[in-house]
Amino acid sequence: MTTKSVPSTMTASVLRSVHEIVLEERPVPTCASDEVLVEVASVGVCGSDTHYYEHGRIGDYVVTAPLVLGHEVSGRIVAVGSAVAPDRVGERVAIEPQRPCRSCEFCRDGTYNLCPHMKFYATPPIDGAFCEYVLIQDDFAYTVPDTISDHAAALMEPLSVGIAAAQKGGVKVGDTVLIAGGGPIGVICAQVARAFGAADVVVADIDPGRRELASKYGARVVDPAAQSTEDLGAHVFVDASGATPAILNGIRSLRASGTAVLVGSANQIPLSVPEIAMREINVTGTFRYTNTWPIARALLLAGQVDLDSLVTHVYGIEQVEEALTGTGGGLKRIVMPGVRRVDEPSVGGLV
């Protein structure tokens, strides 16, 4: 292992049980031959992190042992395994927070996001990144230039969600794209759709603040409680809300042969089979992403998406619980594990 000066222990913020976050001193992990050790700079707070904190589970994924949350990660490589080029030490990187088996049928055909043996940050029992150091396989640590901030590099993970949704929907030049939900993922999906060439990007949200935010990123906004979109004739509908009425309305807003991409979490919902069959509507989902970080980096470097302005609050490692509970509103929250506390977490952003 090639390394810079790295301490033997680190601070980690650990979910012990529902509504119980504690700080622990843990050993700094050691690289396997194909891994790099990353000193964590920024970690975005995702809705899944909040859900585990509030409920202790997401579907079949149940927190049964202490768990470190956080999977939207950037940092700097401080050590590498024996099979990794030693000159990677010192690189700033954005992390794709997953480890597929690389040998199953899904990994071999390129859909490694569906690997049944996947180990994903902050998904029980795999620890995430609300800590000072993390390990990742060498090829899932993507170099980022200094023109991309630590916060934006961390948010390449939700950006990858938006890219995967646009790819799954087949968004192309001239398309009309309807997005349900004006939260972080909805706003990112809107930016990606525009970058992919969509001519008309419409964001529907019942919250006026979210509509105002989406409009600042160039989307046309609609209040679905007051204005129907069923005559929109969208080529692609992306659900980033998880709300049953929004999903059903979005499918009805598609033109014949259009595609609905379900990104938001939702329970079972009733779908009109005749409507889908007779209009040849394609209904699909997305589960994480594959090979999206190079695209995310290119979009950021070209200025086609803006992630920094989404950040409204920044916290230190001692404030993870505050970041998870969302005290004080805001849009996108960042934890900086190398900092103990931030006296004024609010940093502005566009909300």
Tell me the pTM: 0.95
Residue 351: predicted pLDDT: 46
Question: Would you give the DSSP letter of residue 194?
Answer: H
Query: How far apart are alpha carbons 207 and 43 in whole angstroms?
Result: 26
Residues found in the chain: 351
How far apart are alpha carbons 260 and 294 in whole angstroms?
A: 25
Q: Which residues of the chain have a pLDDT value below 70? A: 1-4, 327-329, 348-351
DSSP run (H or E) holding 105: helix 105-108
Domains in the chain, CATH or no CATH each: 2-155+307-336 (3.90.180.10), 160-285 (3.40.50.720)
CA 34 distance to own-chain centroid: 25
Exposure string of 127-162, with b = 16+ CB inside 10 Å and e = fewer, is: bbbbbbbbbbbbebbbebeeebbbbbbbbbbbbbbb
* pLDDT the model gives residue 167: 98
Given the structure tokens 């030693």, which residue do they identify?
86
39-75 residue pLDDT tens: 999 999 999 999 999 999 998 899 999 999 999 999 9
